[in-house]
Amino acid sequence: MVLRKLIVHSFIKSLLNIERRSSVAIFKLPLTTMAAPSLHVSQPEVLVDEKVRVTVTGLRRNQKVTLLSTQVENNKHFASCGHFVADEHGSIDTFLHESHGGTYSGLQPMGLFTSTREPFGTSRLLKLDVSTPYDVTLSIHEDHREFEPLAREYMQSHSAIAETSLKRWYMRPGVRRIVIEEDGIYGALLLPPGEGPFPGIVDVFGMAGGIMDYRAALLASHGFATLSLAYIAYKDLPKKPQDLDINYFLRAVEWFAGQSVVASGGVAMVGHCVGGSLCITTSTLSPHVKVLVSTNGNPFLMINQDIDIDGITMRGINFDVRKCTFTDEGVIQRDGFKEYNLKDRMLPIWRQDIKTLIVVGEEDLCVDPQWQHDFEAVIPHDKKKNFRFVYYPGAGHLIEPPYSPLCKASYNKIIDVIHLWGGEEERHLPAQEDAWREILMFLNTHMTPKSQL
């Protein structure tokens, strides 16, 4: 009897010890298997004008980390970074949390993209091949790290706490790109998915030379058949601005408006800088243009050619680089027209009853924003209903699609100078986002058939 009691007591004691050991093991388990930090994006592939939410989980509470963005474009490295502090849950959300330093500061949900730059040079981030995306790698690094040393270290070792990738496209899946070389007209035709016909846009860039079709690709991604028109330093086209002929643009518009993929009833023109001026000139003369958008385009004739409008001779204006203001950082181009009384040379685009959107950066160092105010002032009262002027204080010359970095200066190979473009980052970046929204809304309002609205 005594022996049986001893056996039972020993068995119960063993069970209690096992239970204690199990309890300890269960208690310690979460501490030894904490989730490793991980990095996430809201979508792995997006258009460049779509926002991307970047989140981090699995960090320690109040842990300091640096988020680094890197990519290679045109055989050059580009990068950006932000300094973050994890919240009480060990998480970071770029839509909710501020950057405390790096290439940008404050609550800027797209700051990792708008502050992208070449860490060891001054090259402009520019998409020259729209058939490829911006291939972006995002990575997490311990502590708040200085930008250039971190970028150099990561590009060499690719060592990080965690990383993920992201593709940012100008071309939506299904958009087609066709190189155009027809009847002396050159460019790239970007077509939306589907059979069409689509509302048509002729896109004319600034004087960069060749085919610049990233904006055209983005417009095609939003449903517009878009011709990115080459006009200088390409094939047998003129090499210098003084050799441009407005008849080339008139022929291009007429050809484009007659294509079966383009909806009938007229086309739009979208232009920037010299391209904006060329669009204003062409729209003043062509019966095919029904809608015009100009961003920081000169509202006067910027070619070495006189044209006749309703019996009035409009004389071309010669740009004189010697009259520009030269600084150590680059050239302020807008001073190259100082000798002219430009109020008397504004192009009378109102004669065609074209729906017109004029986008203006008030800190533009290339095209004087005062010219746009003068242009608005000379429009006849009964024609003002066809015009919309949008002014952006603090915005510079290069008003690009949203979430593009601000470029304050870059080299122009056509006239062999470094241009100063102007712009204050904290005001220019929101202006780009708002201007793109204005442009798409304007085009959709005036280009889309009423039956599709």
Q: How many CB atoms lie within 10 A of CB 218?
A: 27
- Which residue stretches of 33-137 are H helix? 111-114
- Name the residue among 165, 121, 136, 156 with its Cα closest to residue 73: 136
The SS3 assignment for 116 reads coil
The tokens describing 443, both together, are 């085009």
Share of the chain above pLDDT 70, in %: 91
Quote the CA–CA distance of 126 and 350 in Å, as a whole number: 34
15 dihedral zone (left: phi>0; alpha: psi -120 to 50; beta): alpha
Under the banding of pLDDT at 50, 70 and 90, the label for residue 449 is low
Query: Minimum mean pLDDT among 25-34, 96-105, 421-430: which range?
Result: 25-34
The tokens describing 56, both together, are 């981090």
Quote the CA–CA distance of 121 and 404 in Å, as a whole number: 18
Cα–Cα distance list, 190 to 220, 292, 309, 320 (Å): 6, 19, 32, 35
227, 201 contact by CB (below 8 A)? yes
273 is catalytic: yes
Under the banding of pLDDT at 50, 70 and 90, the label for residue 341 is confident
The tokens describing 283, both together, are 């729209």
Quote the CA–CA distance of 398 and 361 in Å, as a whole number: 8
Helix, strand, coil percent content, the chain, rounded in steps of 5: 30, 30, 40
| pLDDT surpasses 70 at 349 | yes
Q: Whole-angstrom distance between the N-terminal and C-terminal Cα of the chain? A: 95
Give the residue, 252 or 336, on which the prediction is more confident.
Answer: 252
Give me the catalytic one of 49, 203, 364, 368: 364
Backbone angles phi, psi at 77, to 5 degrees: -90, 135
Give me the catalytic one of 81, 273, 324, 407: 273
Quote the CA–CA distance of 453 and 440 in Å, as a whole number: 14
In this structure, is the dihedral angle defined by the CA atoms of residues 439, 229, 321 and 328, taken in order, positive or negative? positive
> Which pTM was predicted?
0.89
- Name the burial class of residue 206, with classes exposed (0-12), middle (13-18) and buried (19+) by CB atoms within 10 angstroms of its CB: buried
Domains along the sequence of the chain with CATH? 38-169 (2.60.40.2240), 176-452 (3.40.50.1820)
Name the DSSP letter for residue 64.
E
Quote the CA–CA distance of 397 and 408 in Å, as a whole number: 8
| pLDDT surpasses 70 at 18 | no
Quote the CA–CA distance of 406 and 423 in Å, as a whole number: 8
- Name the residue among 10, 109, 57 with its Cα closest to residue 403: 109
Average pLDDT over every residue of 133-161: 96
| E strand spans, 213-332 | 225-229, 267-272, 289-295, 307-309, 312-314, 325-326, 331-332
Share of the chain above pLDDT 90, in %: 75
407 is catalytic: no
Residue type, 393: P
Under the banding of pLDDT at 50, 70 and 90, the label for residue 397 is very high
Mean predicted lDDT score pLDDT of the chain: 90
User: In terms of residues, how long is the chain?
Assistant: 453
| pLDDT surpasses 90 at 448 | no
| pLDDT surpasses 60 at 8 | no
Q: How many CB atoms lie within 10 A of CB 348?
A: 16
141 is catalytic: no
